[in-house]
């Protein structure tokens, strides 16, 4: 499933940049990630080669998001391709899929899809934090829509969007990555407005995956790295404020995002160790936490793990537990009552406030 999610992320990436796909050299303010624009140009060109209108990219994305390879193949045949043509198109698309395998920064654009959809309606925008936190719970989202008087096609479209992004693994961690990417990108642009769109996108991606490499590459390109670091917190906080999360609520949201990131990486001990290191946990503690680790057999095991990290467990964590992609765990989750755990399951652990890779 996670491999499929990585592939789907690329198509979301392309969808989000569809408005600028026709531009040869989109300006940085329009295309924060140059690679995205290049990929979308290739994708639309491939569709045109098979006489499919570029505007069908949206329907293909949704088919792929809900049905995988079979879904997109079915949609392609609905658009007039035979089985041989469909197979050929998907084979030609393989390099594009490969380009999207590293989603450390691409996933941020799933967050942009969510943010943009919410901001289309002023009433929804007023409830943005609640929506972002509970996006994986369709019943809660429907209740909010009903309270706001949003019904019919508008409600259906919003619910479809939530289903689409949650199938891709959307979580508060996605929003966190979006906040970091936007802050870094804006500060790079302020620091050196001569950087090309390609350099801006490359450095932003690098800042989310390898901070030391980011610093070295940025300095080599003449970026005032001290300016980026000194102003990061304000730019990062402003993104939350602009998206309806008050300053008093940011810390709790960051904790939820940290838990989301941990759960997402739960089947990859090496990646999990790197994440914990990026949040300031010492090597000895990481080794102790992951000693003999091979996944969580039950939700209670996961609660204990998060508690050992010093994370206060509360009801907001319930929906994100399904991010752990393990069939036995999900089966156990279906029979598990989160309320039985209470709200004070955390233990004395490392302080995770601000000990992250965001500079």
- What mean pLDDT value characterizes the chain? 76
| 247-250-252 Cα angle (round to 5) | 135
117-129: pLDDT as tens digits? 788 888 888 888 8
Q: Does residue 26 or residue 342 have the better pLDDT?
A: 342
Task: With a cut of 50, say whether residue 169 has pLDDT above it.
Answer: yes
Q: Give the pLDDT confidence score for residue 154 in this predicted structure.
A: 86
| Predicted model pTM | 0.66
Once rounded to an integer, what is the mean pLDDT over residues 226-239?
Answer: 94
Residue 251: CB atoms within 10 A of its CB come to 12
Q: How far apart, in whole angstroms, are the C-alpha atoms of residue 279 and residue 124?
A: 32
Q: Where are the domains of the chain?
A: 2-99, 104-245, 249-341
Mean pLDDT of the 307-320 span:
82
Give the CA diameter of the chain. Answer: 61
Print burial letters for 7-41: b (CB count within 10 Å at least 16), e (below 16): bbbbbbbbbbbbeebeeeebebeebbbbbbbbbbb
The label of the residue with tokens 């990486």 reads 265
Task: Report the alpha-carbon distance of residue 267 to residue 259 in Å, rounded.
Answer: 14
- Residue 282 CA to residue 288 CA, distance in Å, equals 10
More confident residue, 358 or 68: 68
Supply φ then ψ for residue 291, to 5 degrees.
-65, 115
What's the full length of the chain, in residues? 359
């Amino acid at each position: 499933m996670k491999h499929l999610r990585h592939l789907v992320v690329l198509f979301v990436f392309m969808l989000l940049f569809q408005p600028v796909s026709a531009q040869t050299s989109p300006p940085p303010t329009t295309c924060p990630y140059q690679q995205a624009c290049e990929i979308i140009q290739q994708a639309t060109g491939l569709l045109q080669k098979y006489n499919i209108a570029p505007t069908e990219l949206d329907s293909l994305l949704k088919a792929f998001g809900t049905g995988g390879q079979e879904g997109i193949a079915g949609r392609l045949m609905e658009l007039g391709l035979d089985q041989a043509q469909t197979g050929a198109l998907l084979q030609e698309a393989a390099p594009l899929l490969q380009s999207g395998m590293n989603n450390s920064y691409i996933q941020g654009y799933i967050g942009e899809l969510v943010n943009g959809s919410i901001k289309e309606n002023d009433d929804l925008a007023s409830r943005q934090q609640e929506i972002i936190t509970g996006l994986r719970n369709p019943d809660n989202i429907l209740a909010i829509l009903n309270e706001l008087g949003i019904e019919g096609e508008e409600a259906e479209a919003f619910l479809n969007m939530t289903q689409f992004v949650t199938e891709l693994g959307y979580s508060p961690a996605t929003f966190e990555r979006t906040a970091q990417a936007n802050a870094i990108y804006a500060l790079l642009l302020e620091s050196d407005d001569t950087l090309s769109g390609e350099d801006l996108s490359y450095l932003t991606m690098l800042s989310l995956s390898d901070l030391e490499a980011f610093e070295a590459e940025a300095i080599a390109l003449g970026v005032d790295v001290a300016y980026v670091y000194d102003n990061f917190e304000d730019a990062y906080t402003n993104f939350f404020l602009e998206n309806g999360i008050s300053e008093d609520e940011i810390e709790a949201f960051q904790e939820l995002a940290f838990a989301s990131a941990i759960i997402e990486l739960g089947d990859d001990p090496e990646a999990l160790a790197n994440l914990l290191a990026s949040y300031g946990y010492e090597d000895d503690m990481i080794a102790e936490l992951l000693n003999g680790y091979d996944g969580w057999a039950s939700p209670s095991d996961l609660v204990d793990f998060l508690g050992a990290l010093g994370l206060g467990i509360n009801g907001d964590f319930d929906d994100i537990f399904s991010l752990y992609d393990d069939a036995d765990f999900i089966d156990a989750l279906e029979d598990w009552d989160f309320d039985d755990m209470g709200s004070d399951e955390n233990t004395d652990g490392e302080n995770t406030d601000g000990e992250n890779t965001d500079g």
